[in-house]
Structure 1
Amino acid sequence: MSHQKIIVGYDGSAPARTAAAWALDHAARTASPVEFLYAFEEPLWMPAASMVPAPAVRPPADLEQSIAAMLDQVVSAARRTHPGVDSRATTVRAYAGLTLIDRSADAGLIVIGCRGHSAVAELLGSVSAAVSAHARCPVVVVRGDAASGAPVVAGIDGSETSAEVLTFAAEQAAARAVPLRVIGAFAPVTAIGETGPAIARSVNAEERKPFDDLVGELRSAQPGIDITADAVIRHPAAALTEASATAQLLVVGSRGRGVVRGLLLGSVSQHLLRHSACTVAVIH
Structure 2
Amino acid sequence: MRILVAIDGSAEAAAGLEWVAGLPLSGADDVLLLTVLKPEDAPGRARRVHERHLELLLRDVWATRRDEARRLLADASAAGAMWSARTRQVIREGHPVAEIDAAARELGADLVVAGPRGRGAVPGLLLGSVTGSLLGVLDRPLVVARRPVALPDPILVAIDGSPAADAAMARIASYAWTARAVITVLVVAAGRPGRSLAGALGRSVADQDRQDAGRIAAEAAERLAATGRAATPLVVEGDGARRIVETGARLGAGLLVLGTRGGGGFPGMLVGSVAQRVVATARRTVMVVPPDASSQGGGAPGLVT
TM range (shorter): 0.7 to 0.9
Residue 161 of structure 1: SS of its match in structure 2? helix
Task: Indicate yes or no: 2:119 matched with 1:113.
Answer: no
Q: CA deviation at 1:138?
A: 0.8
Aligned mates of 2:26, 2:178 — CA distance in 1: 7
Write the letter of the residue equivalent to 1:104.
Answer: A
Q: CA deviation at 1:98?
A: 0.7
Deviation readout 1:26-65 (Å, 9 max, x if unpaired): 371584201111111122575889xx9x969443433332
- Preserved contact between residue 156 and residue 162 of structure 1 (Cα < 8 Å): yes
Deviation readout 1:242-277 (Å, 9 max, x if unpaired): 022221000000111279xxxxx9411000111112
Partner of 2:99: 99
Q: 1:147 to 1:280 in 2, by over 3 A?
A: closer
From 204, 227, 231, the equivalent of 1:227 is: 231
Aligned mates of 1:152, 1:270 — CA distance in 2: 19
From 12, 31, 34, the equivalent of 1:34 is: 31
Q: Which runs of 4+ in 1 moved over 6 A?
A: 191-194
| Number of residue equivalences | 260
Residue 163 of structure 2: SS of its match in structure 1? coil
Q: Percent identity?
A: 23
From 156, 163, 166, the equivalent of 2:169 is: 166
- Preserved contact between residue 237 and residue 272 of structure 1 (Cα < 8 Å): yes
Aligned mates of 1:131, 1:62 — CA distance in 2: 28
Task: Indicate yes or no: 2:282 matched with 1:280.
Answer: no
Q: 1:233 to 1:28 in 2, by over 3 A?
A: same
Deviation readout 1:209-257 (Å, 9 max, x if unpaired): 34432322222332xx332111222221111110222210000001112
Aligned mates of 2:165, 2:26 — CA distance in 1: 24
- Preserved contact between residue 6 and residue 27 of structure 1 (Cα < 8 Å): no
Aligned mates of 1:71, 1:207 — CA distance in 2: 46
Q: 1:206 to 1:16 in 2, by over 3 A?
A: closer
Q: CA deviation at 1:73?
A: 1.4
Alignment of 1:186-197 (within 5 A): 186-190=189-193
Partner of 1:9: 6
Write the letter of the residue equivalent to 2:18.
Answer: A
Structure of higher RCO (CA pairs closer than 8 Å, 6+ residues apart)? 2
Write the letter of the residue equivalent to 2:98.
Answer: L
* Structure 2 unaligned residues grouped into runs of 5+: 121-126, 266-270, 291-305
- Preserved contact between residue 141 and residue 273 of structure 1 (Cα < 8 Å): yes
* Structure 1 unaligned residues grouped into runs of 5+: 119-123, 260-264
Write the letter of the residue equivalent to 1:253.
Answer: G
Q: 1:204 to 1:176 in 2, by over 3 A?
A: closer
Aligned mates of 1:279, 1:179 — CA distance in 2: 16
Aligned mates of 2:192, 2:169 — CA distance in 1: 27
Partner of 1:61: 63
Q: CA deviation at 1:97?
A: 0.9
From 202, 220, 223, the equivalent of 1:214 is: 220
Residue 23 of structure 2: SS of its match in structure 1? helix
- Preserved contact between residue 192 and residue 238 of structure 2 (Cα < 8 Å): no
Alignment of 1:174-193 (within 5 A): 175=178, 177-190=180-193
Q: CA deviation at 1:91?
A: 1.1
Q: 1:30 to 1:136 in 2, by over 3 A?
A: farther
Partner of 1:121: none
Q: CA deviation at 1:192?
A: 11
Residues 225-234 or 161-170, more deviating: 161-170
Q: TM-score scaled by structure 2?
A: 0.74
Residues 20-29 or 127-136, more deviating: 20-29
Aligned mates of 2:161, 2:279 — CA distance in 1: 21
Aligned mates of 1:76, 1:173 — CA distance in 2: 25
- Preserved contact between residue 152 and residue 172 of structure 1 (Cα < 8 Å): no
Q: 1:184 to 1:258 in 2, by over 3 A?
A: closer
